[in-house]
A = this chain, B = another copy of it.
């Protein structure tokens, strides 16, 4: 069942069928109707591969993320997919895990499938020394990074102002008189580094010496966060505040502190990051920094659409975060 069959049945040429199909060129109402009737009757669908071959696009965008089962990434992917579809693009999803080799392979695969662009979700794709995999992809198609950026041609970064958000939150705790404020984080990524810098900057701003700072790196899991806080308590360090790079770490911290008999937020204040659903599961509910995944995702897609339309777009866009106060802070 192809365009020739339709043309034959309708008694016209394939050119006319094509015109009807794509609404281009002048076709008389009469023939258009006749062609449409045949198309409906035979339930004809144009072959996307042939069309792709001719037009050199199947209107697909690759979405690459390390792990969609993570709530934060899932929300981003969900939003990106929705916005792409709104603009007539399908989404080719690739979950890479954490291994560089896999990321490279996935990017190559997407490029080989001739996607029109790639959206990189999350700040886990840049490597310290070697970003050839991203640069290579950008050689073929525009690449938009959500929550990360890389200064190179054809690469666009949409990020959140994690630095400021963290600095303000920690600053506020300090202003309240808190000094023993722990920062719990999970990754050395672009946004990870900026959050950490924000934490440190808050101490600097208030003239506190670096030895006041307690930064602990742990796995992105409730369990490890919990263990780390328990470890502190056992060492006799009783935090007055815990700020984390991820809600999930805040959940772990809250658990540990509750188990140790601490009153939250009176004895200890806790602030998470992402304002994910996890923040609403605990009791008290977590205060959290909303880093605006949806806004970032929408902006990412808009950027892409603008690029397709050959409009001018900025290669880096920063969005403000928002502190959401709930039950774990005063």
- On A, residues with C-beta under 8 Å from B are 45-50, 52-53, 56, 58, 60, 63, 67-71, 74-75, 77-79, 81-82, 85, 90-95, 109, 111-114, 222, 248, 251, 254-255, 258, 277-278, 280-283
Contact = CB atoms under 8 A, between A and B. Distances in A.
Contacts of A78: 67-69, 95
A60 B110 CA distance: 12
Given A45-B112, A63-B93, A278-B281, 5 more contacts: A45-B111, A74-B74, A90-B94, A90-B113, A282-B282
A248 to B, nearest CB: 8
29 contacts: A45-B112, A48-B114, A49-B49, A49-B56, A60-B113, A63-B93, A68-B68, A68-B74, A69-B71, A69-B75, A71-B277, A74-B74, A81-B93, A81-B94, A81-B95, A82-B95, A85-B95, A90-B92, A90-B94, A90-B113, A91-B92, A91-B93, A222-B277, A222-B280, A222-B281, A254-B283, A278-B281, A281-B281, A283-B283
Contacts of A52: 49, 52-53
Nearest to A82: B95
Contact of A68 (B77, B90, B255, B278): B77
Contacts of A283: 254-255, 258, 282-283
Contacts of A77: 68-69, 93
Contact of A74 (B48, B69, B109): B69
Q: How many copies does the complex hold?
A: 2
Contacts of A255: 283
A81 B63 CA distance: 12
Nearest to A91: B93
Nearest to A62: B90
A68 B76 CA distance: 9
A208 B255 CA distance: 39
A50 B113 CA distance: 11
Contacts of A48: 112-114
A68 B47 contact: no
A268 to B, nearest CB: 15
A283 B278 CA distance: 13
- 4 shortest interchain CB distances as A-B pairs: A49-B52, A74-B74, A69-B78, A281-B281
Contacts of A50: 53
Contacts of A112: 45-46, 48
A68 B109 CA distance: 23
Contacts of A75: 69
A53 to B, nearest CB: 4
A137 to B, nearest CB: 12
Given A49-B56, A258-B283, A93 B93 contact: yes
A74 B95 CA distance: 12
A329 to B, nearest CB: 18
Nearest to A111: B45
A68 B72 CA distance: 11
A89 B23 CA distance: 33
